[in-house]
Amino acid sequence: MKDDKLVMGVLGLGEGRSVISAVQKSSYYELGNICDLNDELCKKRVKEFGLSKYTTRYEDMLADDSIDVIGIYTPDQFHAKHIKQALKAGKHVICTKPVMIGLDQAKDLVGCEKESGKLVFVGQSSRFFEPLKRQRELYEEKNIGELISVETHYKNDSRWFLERDWSRQPGFSWMYNFMIHAVDLATWYIPEIEEVFGYGSVSPNMKSYNIHTEDTMSFVMKDKSGHFATVEGAYGSPCLDGNIEFPIECTLRGTTGISRGGYSKLKYYERTIDETGRHDRMETYDDKHDFYFRFEKENHHAGEYQNYIEYFARCLQKNMTPKPDLSEAIHTIGIMEAMKRSLTTGMPVKVSELMREYELE
């Protein structure tokens, strides 16, 4: 801590750029150092943000006693390893999604977190985007009555992403990297998903990139009390304009209302019905556009990251567990492992059976 501010070190300076901006604009934080293997990129960020130092060695940042929190924005395949190193060095962790790309390292990481006495928070950014934050707030006020079902999707022509070398490496999947946003929103509202079933396809477009992971998927999942969610993803083919269909969308159906929030439009829709009739609400948050989108285009997440790093800081102050914590994030990975298995077997899969295989329940 410095002057009552948490000191953060940022690892991985692609998307890590957004968290540097978030830290610089936040009264809760000070930037400790930045790190990337790519020396050129470090220099670019130093210039962009007016910094005085950087390192290309993660070990240097871990050895720096002034740093309280490590923000991890490296490729998905390295998250588990980088979290473990941070915990062993006695740092709190804010890690971007997905926390890991399978359950092999889950039990070990849970043990490391416990031993360290530090906290791991997973940055599910969509929860922290204005319309989806607002949808949750109103849902907690029971605006739609009792929840019946949830529909979420993340659909976007994301073939541009395949320029990243790590998207061609083992461990990359559209499900873990992209669809996790839709899965996380569904499980935020229906936390105790017990069974999942779905279909998926590796489109001909993917085959032309020599990629063999499903890029178009549709799932249904349910909990014990009958709430269910439909969750869809499409990444390797054309999509409609974001004004017609939000890339990320979450629709809640309840006994007395329906609500919809999404990304990246700053809009929220709701219809409720009571004894006085039908009430339609549409909120726009255009005044927050420049808070959420700070760089070129609308594909960065600085505002969401500022919301979540500040939430993390407030949780630490109040001695509360920031959510999603490690165990919730691992559970979401368990649900996605069950989704993967359903694609392979063509059968519904019980999440708890899968978790037990990894000694996680």
Ligand X SMILES: NC(=O)c1ccc[n+]([C@@H]2O[C@H](COP(=O)([O-])OP(=O)(O)OC[C@H]3O[C@@H](n4cnc5c(N)ncnc54)[C@H](O)[C@@H]3O)[C@@H](O)[C@H]2O)c1
Query: Can residue 262 be called a binding residue for ligand X (CB under 6 A)?
Result: no
Q: Considering only residues 118-147, where is the footprint of ligand X by CB under 6 A?
A: 123, 125
Query: Can residue 169 be called a binding residue for ligand X (CB under 6 A)?
Result: no
From the list 181, 172, 15, the residue with the least C-alpha distance to 101 is: 172
Asked whether 263 and 129 are in contact (CB, 8 A), the reply is: yes
Binding-site member from 8, 10, 11, 132 for ligand X (CB under 6 A) = 11
Beta bridge partners of 357: none
Cβ nearer to ligand X, comparing 58 with 139: 58
Helix (H) or strand (E) holding 338: helix 326-345
Window of 12-20, 21-29, 144-152, 193-201 that interacts with ligand X by CB under 6 A: 12-20
Query: Can residue 307 be called a binding residue for ligand X (CB under 6 A)?
Result: no
User: Would you say how long the chain is, in residues?
Assistant: 361
Cβ nearer to ligand X, comparing 96 with 149: 96
Using CA atoms, how far residue 219 sits from 52, 192, 215, 234, 240, in Å, is 48, 16, 13, 12, 21
**Cα separation of 239 and 266, whole Å?**
19
Asked whether 258 and 178 are in contact (CB, 8 A), the reply is: no
What character string, x for contact with ligand X (CB under 6 A) and - otherwise, covers 74-113? xxx-x-----------------xx----------------
Q: Considering only residues 25-54, where is the footprint of ligand X by CB under 6 A?
A: 35-38, 41
Asked whether 79 and 166 are in contact (CB, 8 A), the reply is: no
Query: Can residue 213 be called a binding residue for ligand X (CB under 6 A)?
Result: no
Number of residues lying near ligand X (CB under 6 A) = 24
| Shortest spacing between CB 178 and ligand X, in angstroms | 8
Asked whether 298 and 167 are in contact (CB, 8 A), the reply is: no
> Which residues of the chain form contacts with ligand X (CB under 6 A)?
11-15, 35-38, 41, 58, 73-76, 78, 96-97, 123, 125, 164, 166, 177, 301
